[in-house]
């Protein structure tokens, strides 16, 4: 029971990082300026590294090796939230997604520092710097563009309004919440969501961007249970294309 609950937590976190890391890596070579191209690509690599670390924990618990888990599953077996799999579109959307997702991420790992599942609490400490930088990067961009020009404010506002229902999908309730909470492995998605809302509000307050009332937003759920949008399978096909030519090859 405890093991199932822990695995479910690890899978959804790892899948989030892998899928969003891949999406963000699609900007490599196309970033709005060279420095940002480097920063965004580097953060995408951080996310892949974090997903690898989580898949390794799962492997130690008896799951298949990281490469197999990452490249050989069909979309229905992925537990990432739908938000992470949406195509990039324009940079304003990627920035808003980066801001909303990474705010949840830094808070989630802050909570996990206290986890009784020691390997996970150790990982949470190890990646502090990466999470801090991602959060700093996201907030600085949102503050900058969120109060710069009419166009930048309008673009961010549209992406924000579009993204919020998906962002709330990050906090889809797990069937194992109760076990995770009583075993002090993870305090739960609701606690995380409330902290996240405060954090998002705090940054947006310093900009011209407006948040609709939270209760008016209908969350997009399903990803955690494997019910994905039509965008995930093509992403997986592309991501695993080379790996599947020869799954036994050594890199």
Q: Which residues bind another protein (CB under 8 A)?
A: 33-36, 38-39, 42-43, 45-46, 48-50, 53, 125-130, 132-133, 136-137, 140-141, 144, 148, 251
Query: Whats the size of the chain, residue-wise?
Result: 251
* CB 123 to another protein: min, Å: 8
Q: How far is CA 106 from each of CA 65, 68, 110, 242, rounded to the nearest angstrom?
A: 26, 27, 6, 32
CB count within 10 Å of CB 199 equals 17
Beta strands in 58-182, from DSSP E residues, in sequence order: none
Q: How far is the CB of 251 from another protein (least distance, A)?
A: 7
Per the CB < 8 A criterion, the answer to whether 40 and 31 are in contact is yes
- Chain-centroid distance of CA 39 in Å reads 17
Instruction: Find the shortest distance in angstroms from Cβ 229 to another protein.
Output: 29
- Of 52 and 211, nearer to another protein (C-beta) is 52
- Looking up tokens 């090859």 gives 249
Q: Maximum Cα–Cα distance for the chain, whole Å?
A: 53
The answer for residues whose C-beta is within 8 angstroms of residue 38's C-beta and 6 or more apart is: 31
CA distance 103 to 107: 6
Identify which of 227, 192, 186, 187 has the alpha carbon closest to the alpha carbon of residue 6.
186
Nearest-angstrom CA–CA distance, 124 and 126: 6
The least CB distance from residue 127 to another protein, in Å, is 6
> Shortest distance, CB of residue 25 to another protein, whole angstroms?
13
Which one, 141 or 171, has the nearer CB to another protein?
A: 141
Q: Which two tokens stand for residue 101?
A: 């997702």
- CB closer to another protein out of 65 and 212: 65
**Shortest Cβ 173–another protein spacing (Å):** 29
Give the nearer residue to another protein in terms of CB position, either 1 or 33. 33
């Amino acid at each position: 029971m405890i093991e199932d609950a822990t695995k479910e937590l690890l899978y959804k976190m790892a899948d989030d990082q892998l899928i969003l890391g891949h999406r963000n890596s699609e900007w490599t070579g196309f970033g709005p300026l060279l420095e940002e191209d480097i920063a965004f690509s580097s953060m995408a690599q951080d996310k892949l590294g974090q997903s690898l670390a989580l898949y390794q924990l799962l492997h130690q618990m008896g799951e298949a090796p990281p490469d197999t888990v990452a490249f050989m599953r069909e979309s229905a077996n992925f537990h990432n939230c739908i938000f992470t799999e949406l195509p990039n579109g324009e940079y304003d959307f990627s920035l808003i997604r980066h801001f909303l997702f990474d705010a949840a991420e830094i808070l989630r790992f802050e909570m996990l520092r206290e986890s009784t599942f020691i390997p996970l609490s150790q990982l949470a400490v190890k990646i502090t710097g990466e999470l801090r930088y991602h959060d700093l990067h996201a907030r600085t961009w949102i503050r900058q563009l969120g109060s710069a020009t009419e166009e930048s404010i309008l673009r961010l506002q549209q992406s924000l309004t579009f993204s919020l229902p998906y962002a709330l999908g990050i906090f889809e309730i797990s069937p194992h919440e109760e076990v995770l909470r009583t075993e002090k492995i993870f305090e739960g998605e609701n606690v995380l969501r409330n902290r996240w809302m405060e954090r998002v509000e705090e940054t947006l307050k310093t900009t011209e961007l407006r948040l609709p009332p939270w209760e008016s937003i209908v969350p997009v759920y399903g990803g955690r249970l494997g019910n994905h949008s039509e965008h995930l399978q093509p992403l997986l096909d592309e991501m695993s294309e080379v790996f599947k030519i020869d799954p036994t090859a050594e890199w």
